[in-house]
């Protein structure tokens, strides 16, 4: 009667709704007619309609049958109630069908009407109840008709589908509203959302609009997999993820859910986990439901196992019981397959979302970190958080539900065991608990090892990142192998923890692999002691339960390991997010025009280090009106750059006030150039305004440079501007600032990297031209630019000692007079050479210019007629067998692999043998006497189980040993080849690509690949064992398995083409994220000064989405395959059962048949696991393939050639002879040096001058063999440098490079990285290079800290440290490449005096833009377009007023005189 009332209520509501709709003439006035229903997928809607019509038809048929039955047999009250129930059910489903049909033509909604959804849920629950009642009646043979039972089964199935449909649609709508909620808080968020959803040209994944059948079968992936079989997939072929899964949307949800304490932004690990959960909560909730359903369906078969064995033994409870059991097994398998696939898919989807959120959050934190806070976290460590920790938390999604599933499975297992073994199950529970408890000490050890492993990995990555960034200086100094050994030492520490970790994991694995045998032996032994009879049906039910329980217990080591690793990663990310942000309230920022003062500082004290007792800057007070031109000068380390950083808000303010009015633009002392086109670097996010763009190019003298670039301003610049000269980088950086058209311009010594002529042009066209009405604050060491300033600030020891106009401060103090006096001395030196007479004779070698007189310059670092930085290479097609062969051969030549396989096979034989023994000796019923005694039964079982456990221990240890050895060898070989690669490799390869291999790929080789190979061996042997058991019991099942296995492998081949390329593309798409983050960290000051954080945040989101869409479709392809394999396995299992129940009684032993079914229960999961492992292994082997690519890169010539090693005293004289030297950067490129022939006399000083791009730096690189000559030769003291080893050459020469480099460590380690000198020698060198007093001020003296890239030292001080290195080395040949560009003139004069004093008998080659640095040279070499234009003494060249050198000197002196001497 309840059902009748239920249907009547529904019909009443529908009637009232219809009347109301007609009355108000409005479609959407009630709960049934929801406007959102119009957006439903047509396929999905039709499927629901068909289900409703099916129920209508079924109830109608049953109604007619009941009427006929009642008409024939007479009427009674009970059957009349059934008739009424069927009548109203048919009417209800008919009405619903008509209603849905009326909407189906235009319905595309997201959500079914609320009333209908409630009805479906109640209907499903009531159908389940009625099914249970009818089953009970059927067993008692009290059910009137089996047709009612059939209708109940159909009703439950359709009800489940409709219930799922209603909940699915409702959940998605609620999720959408949840996603929109935080984005409605403010206009900025709304714009951000619109941007994400407004990409009309993007193809969104079919997953977004797929129907229910497509979701169930993953058919929406079919077109992409089919495309992968037709062609090699490219990134453009893969659609974008759904808008709700985009990085930006997830990130703002995450931020809204992350709690901050009192605005201090203190994050705990728990808060981080909570925010991550709410970011992807819908996928986690769905996966939880599927995991629960999967777990329940797994235990249907063990529960019915005893009944099945009894049936095979002839104890039938009712007719067709065998086929009912087979159907039940089959349906349970189908539910299990579907639930597992959706469980895994949803969890991995959640993992991708969590990774995306974490990467975005780490990047966001990187944008707000102050420089002093970042010193505690190097770039390498922060990048490790992105590449390793975020990836690990993403991988943890696989294991998220394992702990509670294990508890649920143990509970269900105990219930089944209690039904089979009685009180023996209590002992089984105690044994299981004991095994779990025994793992806790090992798990604690694992957590300790994992923490230390990650810490040591951080240290290695930090050093690797620093070394790769500074590879050029290492090769010039001949230090690369020493630094390689430092990295190998760090890897050695990491490897020691890795070794402990993998062996500990192997121990945990062996304990847990032995656990099922231990638990079953304990349970059976307890049954013997308790006199509980052991029957084969109950034994097999217990063994089936243990086998199902085996999988989560086997996974427990991995789960424990992943929980430990994830906790460590979460703690590390939390610690990073808790670092202090950049001080936001230190600078009062007001819009332009709101104040007459552009910059105003009163009583300011600023300090990079809060703990330092003496602030970096103190007693700072000044006011700069709008439009004023302010110059800042002072000696090295006086605080000039720190003052600019303070105005930018980069230096924490200790006291005082700082006010800035207007937008800022900043030009750093060390140029920061992004990877990308020249145009993109200049525009820097602003739209193109062609006229203004051209004016900026002209002002910055960039037009001639663009002419020689292969694609003009569309040329892609390499990482850190590697294919540009120092001057070009500085001018592009200046153009970037100019194009922004800001209000305040901050220039940090922009003229040091350009020659005198270019510097004068820039000063005139930029500072006095385009910026004449702007506020400009510039730091400079070129004092000739000071007279034009409205105000000059003179700094010393962090204070402003003098301020005023040039003439005002000239006589008001000694600090400025010292600087001016040094400049006057330098000019006087030049004048004396101009007016002096020739005092020495020299050979002159002149070569005429090109006859056509073209002024076109060859670029110093020529690039091919294609972009220097190409897209990252990737292999295509399947991972070759050679890759697997090389991988295996790395560990003892692959000798352990067959041993591991033999041990695994032995384990499987013993394991099957132990279960076979139990099935053979235990009787089918308790009436039959067992063939052996109970003690013998248990003893044999324990012996077999112990032997199999020992095999597992051996296999686990051998696998750990092999994996560790391979990882170590692969690391060593790759790093050796990378460090031995030529500089052209580093010029064309972004550092992110190398770091990606050294971190992410190396992690896969360290931890993932060994376990994957072990899983492959275990699964393959296990499947062979199962098929063997089933074949022995009933050979007919082999007929089923052969085509099924063939179909599985066909599916794998069909799938792998697309999956392989998706995995490769995903691997490649990680590198740009690392590279972008690395670039952002190095240029964070510039980015913040231009207020470009939102654009860079948007870029990382876009790169994140690119990786996510590739990863999402890769895991979807995997589930597409696994679903089909599961279906095939379930079908094979069902057919095997049909064969078993169809064989006549007595032909097969019921116990053995039950054993075969026990093993076959896990066949579908094992078969899917095997194929999945094969595919995932191939995907993971791409990491090996990528590392092997770098093992095969070409190396430089030999470091040492024993047969031609020079004497230890070489070079003793230092004479350099160049004969017909020709150099080009590629086989099809023009010559950069075109037949140079000259001699640099030993012991003399030679200056090399020329316009930017004439070949100066190329000549120096060829001298050090960074670039190999195409023709000609260079001899030093008569030895051809091409015939000796690179180490012998570079270690005997010294160079102070243009870009000063310091490494993280101490002052001592920077001056003497090879530990060759005493402290006294180091102090002597420091005093000679004017740094002795500065270092003595520091508390730790020589052990004072140097941060990453020497960031806590000024650029000038870093240059002096480089000078200290060569003073220690005392080579006979010294090269100065713009060595004094970043120091003031006074310090430059002191350096020149030091060089004259200590290198008077050495050959010194100087490249300088300051004429004063080369004017006192013994010889001058002037290059033009790769040819020697002039080569003579300065005096001789100055005598000839028509010489190019005279013109250069005239330019320098005239620009200086016009501004400097007029005062």
What average pLDDT values come out for the chain (1463 residues) when binned by 10 residues?
Answer: 63 64 44 37 60 78 73 64 75 77 49 66 72 68 64 76 60 35 32 36 75 80 86 83 83 78 64 85 88 86 77 71 81 86 89 89 85 61 81 84 84 78 79 76 80 85 84 87 90 91 85 78 80 73 72 70 83 84 79 83 83 81 88 83 86 86 86 85 88 88 80 77 75 89 87 74 85 87 80 86 81 66 57 44 34 33 45 56 85 84 88 77 64 75 85 88 90 91 82 82 86 85 82 72 78 82 81 83 86 88 88 87 83 78 69 72 73 76 86 87 86 88 77 87 86 78 88 89 89 82 84 84 84 82 79 77 84 80 67 78 80 77 85 83 77 56 45
pLDDT for the residue 376:
56
Are the beta carbons of 985 and 722 closer than 8 angstroms?
Answer: no
**Quick one: which of 257, 272, 260 has its CA closest to 178?**
257
Are the beta carbons of 839 and 1435 closer than 8 angstroms?
Answer: yes
Specify whether the backbone of 1330 is left (phi greater than 0), alpha (psi in -120 to 50) or beta: left
Please identify which residue in the block is written with the tokens 């590629």.
1226
Strand order in the sheet with 1419-1424: 1293-1296, 1373-1377, 1403-1407, 1245-1249, 1419-1424, 1427-1432
Say how many CA atoms lie within 13 Å of 450 toward its Cβ. Answer: 26
Q: Locate 677 and state its tokens.
A: 């086109």
Are the beta carbons of 41 and 112 closer than 8 angstroms?
Answer: no
d(CA 513, CA 903) in angstroms, rounded, equals 14
- Residue 1341: CB atoms within 10 A of its CB come to 15
Q: How far is CA 1034 from CA 874, 1144, 1153, 1403, in A?
A: 49, 12, 8, 91
- Residue 1221: CB atoms within 10 A of its CB come to 23
Contacts of 691 (CB under 8 A, 6+ apart): none
d(CA 823, CA 1410) in angstroms, rounded, equals 11
Contacts of 626 (CB under 8 A, 6+ apart): 596, 597, 598, 661, 662, 743, 775
Please identify which residue in the block is written with the tokens 């289900």.
51
| Torsion (CA) 113, 119, 120, 125 in degrees, nearest 10 | 150
Q: Is the dihedral of CA 93, 94, 100, 101 positive or negative?
A: positive
Q: Locate 31 and state its tokens.
A: 């709960």
d(CA 543, CA 420) in angstroms, rounded, equals 10
Residues in the chain: 1463
| Strand duo 1305-1306 + 799-804: pairing | unpaired
Q: How far is CA 1072 from CA 867, 991, 1064, 1068, in A?
A: 17, 10, 14, 8
pLDDT for the residue 862:
37
Q: How far is CA 522 from CA 406, 485, 528, 544, 1254, in A?
A: 20, 54, 10, 16, 85
Please identify which residue in the block is written with the tokens 């007016």.
835
Q: How far is CA 1259 from CA 501, 1230, 1409, 1427, 1428, in A?
A: 51, 15, 16, 11, 11
Looking at the DSSP assignment, which residues form a beta bridge with residue 778? 631, 747
Are the beta carbons of 718 and 681 closer than 8 angstroms?
Answer: no
Please identify which residue in the block is written with the tokens 């069909």.
1054
**In 3-state terms, what secondary structure has residue 335?**
helix
Are the beta carbons of 219 and 209 closer than 8 angstroms?
Answer: no
Q: How far is CA 630 from CA 788, 810, 1030, in A?
A: 9, 16, 90
| Phi, psi angles (nearest 5°) of residue 143 | -80, 130
Instruction: Identify the helix (H) or strand (E) that includes residue 1274.
Output: strand 1271-1276
Are the beta carbons of 826 and 840 closer than 8 angstroms?
Answer: no
d(CA 949, CA 945) in angstroms, rounded, equals 6
d(CA 656, CA 579) in angstroms, rounded, equals 25
Looking at the DSSP assignment, which residues form a beta bridge with residue 804? 792
pLDDT for the residue 541:
74
How many helices and strands in the chain, by DSSP H and E? 51, 24
DSSP string of 1058-1097, one letter each residue: HHHHHHHHHHHHHHHHHHHHHHHHHTHHHHHHTT-HHHHH
Are the beta carbons of 603 and 651 closer than 8 angstroms?
Answer: no
d(CA 743, CA 626) in angstroms, rounded, equals 9
Instruction: Identify the helix (H) or strand (E) that includes residue 422.
Output: none
- Tell me the whole-structure pTM to 2 decimals: 0.65
| Phi, psi angles (nearest 5°) of residue 629 | -105, 110
Report which DSSP code applies to 675.
S
pLDDT for the residue 489:
92
Contacts of 485 (CB under 8 A, 6+ apart): none
d(CA 199, CA 252) in angstroms, rounded, equals 19
pLDDT for the residue 245:
82
Q: How far is CA 345 from CA 170, 235, 241, 1069, 1331, in A?
A: 20, 22, 14, 21, 61
**Quick one: which of 1109, 1376, 1320, 1118 has its CA closest to 246?**
1109
**In 3-state terms, what secondary structure has residue 109?**
coil
**In 3-state terms, what secondary structure has residue 92?**
helix
Distance, CA of 693 to chain centre: 36
pLDDT for the residue 813:
61
Distance, CA of 282 to chain centre: 25
Are the beta carbons of 533 and 922 closer than 8 angstroms?
Answer: no
Report which DSSP code applies to 879.
P
d(CA 579, CA 628) in angstroms, rounded, equals 38
d(CA 1363, CA 493) in angstroms, rounded, equals 34
Are the beta carbons of 581 and 370 closer than 8 angstroms?
Answer: yes
- 1332 by Cβ neighbours in 10 Å (0-12 / 13-18 / 19+) ranks as middle
Looking at the DSSP assignment, which residues form a beta bridge with residue 601? 622, 658
d(CA 924, CA 1151) in angstroms, rounded, equals 7
Strands (E), 139-297: none
Looking at the DSSP assignment, which residues form a beta bridge with residue 1217? 1239, 1275
């Amino acid at each position: 009667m309840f059902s009748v009332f239920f249907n009547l209520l529904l019909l009443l509501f529908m009637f009232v709704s219809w009347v109301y709709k007609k009355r108000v003439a409005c479609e959407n006035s009630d709960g049934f007619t929801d406007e959102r229903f119009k957006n439903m997928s047509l396929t999905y809607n039709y499927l629901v309609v068909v289900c409703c019509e099916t129920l209508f038809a079924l109830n109608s048929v049953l109604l007619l049958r009941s009427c006929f039955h009642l008409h024939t047999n007479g009427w009674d009250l009970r059957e009349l109630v059934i008739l009424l129930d069927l009548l109203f059910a048919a009417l209800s489903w008919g009405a619903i069908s008509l209603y849905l049909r009326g909407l189906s033509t235009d319905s595309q909604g997201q959500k079914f009407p609320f009333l209908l959804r409630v009805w479906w849920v109640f209907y499903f629950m009531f159908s389940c109840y009625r099914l249970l009642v009818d089953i009970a009646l059927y067993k008692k043979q009290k059910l009137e008709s089996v047709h009612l039972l059939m209708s109940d089964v159909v009703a439950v199935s359709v009800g489940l589908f409709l219930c799922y449909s209603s909940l699915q649609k409702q959940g998605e709508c609620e999720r959408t509203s949840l996603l929109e909620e935080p984005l409605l808080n403010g206009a900025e968020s709304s714009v951000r959302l619109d941007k994400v959803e407004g990409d009309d040209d993007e193809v969104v994944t079919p997953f977004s609009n797929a129907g229910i059948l497509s979701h169930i079968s993953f058919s929406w992936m079919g077109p992409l997999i089919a495309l992968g079989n037709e062609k090699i997939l490219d990134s453009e072929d893969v659609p974008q993820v759904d808008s709700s899964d985009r990085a930006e949307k997830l990130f703002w949800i995450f931020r809204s859910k992350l709690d901050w304490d009192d605005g201090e932004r203190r994050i705990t690990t728990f808060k981080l986990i909570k925010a991550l959960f709410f970011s992807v909560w819908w996928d986690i909730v769905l996966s939880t439901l599927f995991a629960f359903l999967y777990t329940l369906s797994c235990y249907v078969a063990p529960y019915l196992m005893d009944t099945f064995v009894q049936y095979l033994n002839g104890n039938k409870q009712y007719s067709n019981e065998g086929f009912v059991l087979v159907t039940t097994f089959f349906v349970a398998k189908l539910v299990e397959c579907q639930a597992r696939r959706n469980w895994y898919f949803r969890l991995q989807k959640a993992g991708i979302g969590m990774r995306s959120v974490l990467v975005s959050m780490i990047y966001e934190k990187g944008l707000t970190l102050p420089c002093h806070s970042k010193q505690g976290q190097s770039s390498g460590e922060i990048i490790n958080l992105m590449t390793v920790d975020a990836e690990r938390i993403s991988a943890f999604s696989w294991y998220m539900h394992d702990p509670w599933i294990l508890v649920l499975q143990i509970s269900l297992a105990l219930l089944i065991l209690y039904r089979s073994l009685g009180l023996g199950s209590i002992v089984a529970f105690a044994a299981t608990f004991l095994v779990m408890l025994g793992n806790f000490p090992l798990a604690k050890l694992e957590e300790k090892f994992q923490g230390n492993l990650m810490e040591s990995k951080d240290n290695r990555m930090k050093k690797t990142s620093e070394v790769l960034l500074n590879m050029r200086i290492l090769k010039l100094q001949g230090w690369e192998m020493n630094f390689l050994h430092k990295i190998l030492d760090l890897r050695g520490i990491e490897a020691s923890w890795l070794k402990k970790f993998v062996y500990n994991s192997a121990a945990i694995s062996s304990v847990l692999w032995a656990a099922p045998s231990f638990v079953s032996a304990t349970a059976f032994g307890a049954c013997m002691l308790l006199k509980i009879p052991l029957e084969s049906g109950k034994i097999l039910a217990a063994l089936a339960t243990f086998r199902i329980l085996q999988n989560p217990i086997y996974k427990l080591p991995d789960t424990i390991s992943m929980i430990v690793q994830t906790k460590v990663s979460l703690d590390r990310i939390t610690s990073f997010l808790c670092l202090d942000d950049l001080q936001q309230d230190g600078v009062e920022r007001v819009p332009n025009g709101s104040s007459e003062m552009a910059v105003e500082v009163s009583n300011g004290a600023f300090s990079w280090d809060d703990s330092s007792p003496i602030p970096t800057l103190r007693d700072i007070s000044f006011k700069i009106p709008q439009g004023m031109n302010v110059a800042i000068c002072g000696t090295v380390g006086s605080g000039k750059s720190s003052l600019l950083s303070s105005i930018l808000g980069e230096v924490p303010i200790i006291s005082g006030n700082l006010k800035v009015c207007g937008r800022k633009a900043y030009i750093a002392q060390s140029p920061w150039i992004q990877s990308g086109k020249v145009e993109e670097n200049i525009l820097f996010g602003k739209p193109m305004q062609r006229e203004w763009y051209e004016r900026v190019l002209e002002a910055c003298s960039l037009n001639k440079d663009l002419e020689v670039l292969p694609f003009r301003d569309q040329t892609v610049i390499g990482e850190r501007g590697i294919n540009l000269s120092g001057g070009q980088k500085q001018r592009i950086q200046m153009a970037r600032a100019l194009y922004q058209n800001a209000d305040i311009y901050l220039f940090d010594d922009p003229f040091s990297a350009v020659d005198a002529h270019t510097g004068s042009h820039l000063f005139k066209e930029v500072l006095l031209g385009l910026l004449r009405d702007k506020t400009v604050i510039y730091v400079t060491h070129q004092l000739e630019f000071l007279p034009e300033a409205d105000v000059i600030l003179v700094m010393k020891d962090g204070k402003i000692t003098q301020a005023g106009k040039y003439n005002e401060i000239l006589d008001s103090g000694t600090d400025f007079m010292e600087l001016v006096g040094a400049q006057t001395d330098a000019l006087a030196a030049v004048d004396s050479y101009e007016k002096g007479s020739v005092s020495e004779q020299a050979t002159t070698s002149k070569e005429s210019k090109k006859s056509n007189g073209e002024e076109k310059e060859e670029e110093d670092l020529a690039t091919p007629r294609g972009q220097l930085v190409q897209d990252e290479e990737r292999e295509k097609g399947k991972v070759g067998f050679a890759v697997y062969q090389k991988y295996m051969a790395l560990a003892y030549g692959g000798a352990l692999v067959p041993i591991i396989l033999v041990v695994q096979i032995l384990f499987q034989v013993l394991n099957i043998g132990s279960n076979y023994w139990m099935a053979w000796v235990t009787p089918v019923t308790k009436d039959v006497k067992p063939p052996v005694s109970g003690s013998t039964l248990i003893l044999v079982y324990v012996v077999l189980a112990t032997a199999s456990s020992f095999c597992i221990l051996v296999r686990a240890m051998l696998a750990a040993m092999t994996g560790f050895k391979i990882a170590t060898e692969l690391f060593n070989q790759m790093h050796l080849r990378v460090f031995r690669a030529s500089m052209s490799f580093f010029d064309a390869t972004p550092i992110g690509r190398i770091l990606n291999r050294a971190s992410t790929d190396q992690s896969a080789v360290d931890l993932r690949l060994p376990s994957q190979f072990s899983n492959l061996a275990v699964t393959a042997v296990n499947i062979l064992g199962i098929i063997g058991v089933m074949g022995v019991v009933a050979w007919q099942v082999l007929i089923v398995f052969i085509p099924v296995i063939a179909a599985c492998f066909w599916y794998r081949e069909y799938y792998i083409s697309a999956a392989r390329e998706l995995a490769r593309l995903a691997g490649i798409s990680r590198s740009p994220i690392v590279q972008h983050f690395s670039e952002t960290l190095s240029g964070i000051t510039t980015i913040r000064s231009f207020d470009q954080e939102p654009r860079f945040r948007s870029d990382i989101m876009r790169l994140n989405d690119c990786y996510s869409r590739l990863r999402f479709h890769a895991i979807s392809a995997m589930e597409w395959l696994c679903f089909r394999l599961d279906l095939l396995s379930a079908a094979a299992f069902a057919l095997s059962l049909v064969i078993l129940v169809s064989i006549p009684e007595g032909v097969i032993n019921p116990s053995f048949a039950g054993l075969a079914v026990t093993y076959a229960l896990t066949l579908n999961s094992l078969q899917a696991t095997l194929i999945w492992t094969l595919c995932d292994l191939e995907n993971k082997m791409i990491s090996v393939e990528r590392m092997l690519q770098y093992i095969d890169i070409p190396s430089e010539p030999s470091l040492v050639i024993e047969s031609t090693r020079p004497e230890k005293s070489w070079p003793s004289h230092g004479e350099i002879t160049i004969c017909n030297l020709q150099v080009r950067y590629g086989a099809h490129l023009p010559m950069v040096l075109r037949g140079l022939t000259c001699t640099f006399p030993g012991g003399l000083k030679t200056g090399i001058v020329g316009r930017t791009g004439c070949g100066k730096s190329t000549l120096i690189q060829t001298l050090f063999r960074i670039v190999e000559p195409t023709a000609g030769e260079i001899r030093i003291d008569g030895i051809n440098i091409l015939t000796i080893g690179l180490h012998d050459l570079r270690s005997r020469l010294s160079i102070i490079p243009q870009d000063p480099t310091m490494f993280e460590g101490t002052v001592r380690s920077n001056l003497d990285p090879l530990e060759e000198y005493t402290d006294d020698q180091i102090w002597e060198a420091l005093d000679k290079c004017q740094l002795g007093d500065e270092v003595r001020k520091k508390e730790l003296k020589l052990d004072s800290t140097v941060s990453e890239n020497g960031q806590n030292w000024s650029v000038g001080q870093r240059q002096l440290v480089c000078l200290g290195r060569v003073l220690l080395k005392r080579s006979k040949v010294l090269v100065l490449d713009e060595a004094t560009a970043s120091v003031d003139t006074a310090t430059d004069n002191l350096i020149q005096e030091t060089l004259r004093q200590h290198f008077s008998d050495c050959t010194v080659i100087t490249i300088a833009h300051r004429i004063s640095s080369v004017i006192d040279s013994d010889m001058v070499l002037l290059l033009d377009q790769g040819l020697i234009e002039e080569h003579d003494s300065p005096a001789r060249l100055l005598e000839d007023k028509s010489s190019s050198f005279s013109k250069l000197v005239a330019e320098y002196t005239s620009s200086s005189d016009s501004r400097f001497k007029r005062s």
